[in-house]
Amino acid sequence: MATSTTITVSGMTCGHCVSSVKEEIGGLPGVTAVDVDLESGRVTVDSEAPLTGEQLKDAVDEAGYEIVA
Ligand code: 9UX
């Protein structure tokens, strides 16, 4: 089922940070869109099926940032 999930990521300070997060999360299975608001750190992920918290955490870790909410 198509799902939209919003998380908050700390530590992103520039457009390259945003690109890294988008790339890692975008590589998760079934992800169709990743929208990042740099100012707030809010990241909205649209996917064909629900993602687990662990998948998101690992992807954000991989990019070098942290999920705070
Ligand atoms: Mo955005 Mo630069 O990190 O280290 S501030 S890539």
CATH code of the domain containing 37: 3.30.70.100
- The structural domain count of the chain equals 1
> What would the mean pLDDT of 54-64 be, rounded to a whole number?
98
Establish whether residue 9 lines the binding site of ligand 1, counting it when its CB lies within 6 angstroms of any ligand atom: no
Contact 26, 32 (CB under 8 A): no
pLDDT at position 65 is: 98
Nearest atom in ligand 1 to the alpha carbon of residue 64 is 3
Whether pLDDT at 1 is above 90: no
Indicate the top mutation candidate among 9, 12, 14 to test ligand 1's pocket, ranked by most ligand atoms within 8 A of CB: 14
23: Cβ contacts below 8 Å, ≥ 6 apart: 63
Q: List pLDDT tens digits, range 4-49.
A: 999 999 999 999 999 999 999 999 999 999 999 999 999 999 999 9
pLDDT at position 17 is: 98
Domain residues for 22?
3-67
Residue 27 to residue 4: CA distance in whole angstroms: 16
